[in-house]
Amino acid sequence: MNNCIGSQGSQVSRRRVLQLGVGTAVLAATSRQTRGALPNAQLRLAMFSANVTPPIGHPCMGGGIAPAGRIDDRLGAHGIVLLGSGEPIVLVAVDWCEIRNDAYDRWRHALAEAAATSPVRVLVASVHQHDTPVADLTAERLLEDANLKGRICDVAFHERAVTGVAKALRAGLAAARPVTHLGTGMARVEHVASNRRFTDSSGRLRFDRTSASRDAEAHRADEGTIDPWLRTLSFFDGDTPLAALSAYATHPMSYYGQGGVSCDFVGQAREARRAVNPQVQQVYFSGASGNVTAGKYNDGDPANRARLAERMAAAMHAAWSNTKREPIAPWTFRSVPLELKPRTADGFAPDELAAKLVANTPPFQQCLAAMGASWHARVAHGQPIDLPVIDFGPALVVLLPGEAYVEYQLLAQQLRPDRFIFTIGYGECATGYIPIERAWQEHDTNLRDWCWVAPGAETVLTDALRKVLEAR
């Protein structure tokens, strides 16, 4: 397994980490209540992890910040494969900023081939730490073909990473375990998340509460619209825990842009949990958190990375301790196509993007234009985004594309209040931000660049969520 606790993560004390692992007795007590249930011998679960750390010099955040100058933490791709109920289903979280367009297709096809399943049943999600790669192969080739300075990703490294993860998946299949029980647990995360949108003391509406906010007004204002709950979905073979999948909606950065590749505080919390329960596959997903950051509680002091990691690890421990288990039944899978229109106003039309792919455009603006052009090409090709759901009966897992705003995660819970809704964000990231309509009306300043969808996305995504979540 990858060790993602580097020089910053070492500040999370061993004593505190051990304190966060005492939930095993609670789970054992819960398991005794369901021990008599008959397992379905066909249902199995495989686990895999692989190293996806970029080489020194690799672009980070799509060329928007300093490239990799040192490796503070190794980056990992951690996942599971569900077997025995229809074609296999793959779930994997990658410690990268984003995977977009044909790069996303490459991940799904490679892992589908390794798992002997269909690409639509491969759910790939980026965790979205910023000191990590963005992958968009078409965009990178546009830059290379025009001999521009802007760079998004190393195509050869990307292929090595994908094939390495596929190899790890194949190896994991050979050690698949029976899965007899499903667990669900929740815990409130204290002093981490806050919405970018807040009202300052003068009554002015602002959208600049970033991951590291030094403005006292950003710290004083209330948290705004967030989902305060971390959710953990877990799998067991009898009394033996196999995997714990956790999800929480916040941008996962304490600080970034200083050249240190890092899985940041969420990855360090995940690895702290792995250190306590090394036999359990720990997978962390960022929820729908396009408009949620740690800015109310974080001023960018590097020491805050360990503090935020400790708060996340505490919530993971609490959700594990609160887990309720029940016999697992055959799961089902469904997906609906999501057709989001590309943005064409404000310099986002194809010809305007092409005009920026010239030498005198600043390198990061070249990268943004290339990513926009890549998304336009995908849409013109008639390829919709898949919106998948795994239905376990009492729990539903839904994967949202891009940097969906947290309101979509809350909407999913409102649509199915009878179920445990486990929302994953940052699936196909070609869209960038997917705001709610109010954000356009209020002139949300975050939509100036990293948003490639047109207004109206809220209606499209809401209708698709209703269709895929409410299917009976």
Strands 324-327 and 181-188: antiparallel
Indicate if the pLDDT at residue 2 is higher than 90: no
Which pLDDT does position 472 carry in this prediction? 60
Compute the mean pLDDT over every residue in the chain, rounded to the nearest whole number.
92
Taking the C-alpha atoms of residue 151 and residue 4, their distance in angstroms, rounded to an integer, is 26
pTM over 0.75: yes
Asked whether residue 343 carries a pLDDT value surpassing 80, the answer given is: yes
State the Cα–Cα distance between residues 318 and 295, nearest whole angstrom: 24
pLDDT in the model for residue 4? 45
Tokens of 106: 């490459």
pLDDT tens-digit series, residues 398-407: 999 999 999 9
Two structure tokens written together for 9: 């993560």
- At 20, is the pLDDT very low, low, confident or very high (cuts 50, 70, 90)? very low
What is the per-residue pLDDT for 40?
63
Distance (Å, whole) CA 114 – CA 122: 11
pLDDT of res. 10: 38
Mean per-residue pLDDT, 451-455: 98
Dump pLDDT digits (tens) for 165-224.
999 999 999 999 999 999 999 999 999 999 999 999 999 999 999 999 999 999 999 999
Distances (CA, A) of 20 to 4, 30, 275, 276, 381: 17, 18, 10, 8, 49
Q: Whose structure tokens read 């010239």?
A: 358
DSSP 158-169: HHHHHHHHHHHH
pLDDT tier, 318 (very low <50, low <70, confident <90, very high otherwise): very high
* CB atoms inside a 10 Å sphere around CB 387: 22
Confidence of residue 388 (pLDDT cuts 50, 70, 90): very high
pLDDT band at 14; cut points 50, 70, 90: very low
